[in-house]
Amino acid sequence: MYLESQDPEKDISLYINSPGGSVSAGFAIYDTMKYIKCDVSTICIGLAASMGAFLLSSGAKGKKT
């Protein structure tokens, strides 16, 4: 939400390197990604398993790498 307040038109990049983890923490990140108005670009820089894979797939359409 801080990054959105700085520049609401600019995409936010979320770099993921995760073996998974807490489901509730992952859904908190997911809910925040959907709450903000700017697009979230997701980038995998290593491993994206379990909740990490879910977050990777939750990026904006056409902005998942």
| Alpha helix segments (H runs only) across 1-65 | 2-6, 23-35, 51-57
Threshold 0.85, pTM exceeds: yes
| Residues pairing with 44 in the sheet | 16
| Any domain includes 51 | yes
Element (H, E) at 10: none
| Any domain includes 22 | yes
Q: Which two tokens stand for residue 7?
A: 């520049």
| Any domain includes 62 | no
DSSP 3-state of 44:
strand
Task: Quote the number of domains for the chain.
Answer: 1
Q: Is the pLDDT of residue 11 over 90?
A: yes
Residue 53 is predicted with a pLDDT of: 98
60: confidence class by pLDDT, cuts 50, 70, 90: very high
| Any domain includes 65 | no
DSSP 47: E
1: confidence class by pLDDT, cuts 50, 70, 90: confident
| Any domain includes 63 | no
| Any domain includes 18 | yes
**Residues making up the chain, counted from first to last:** 65
Owning domain of residue 17: 2-57
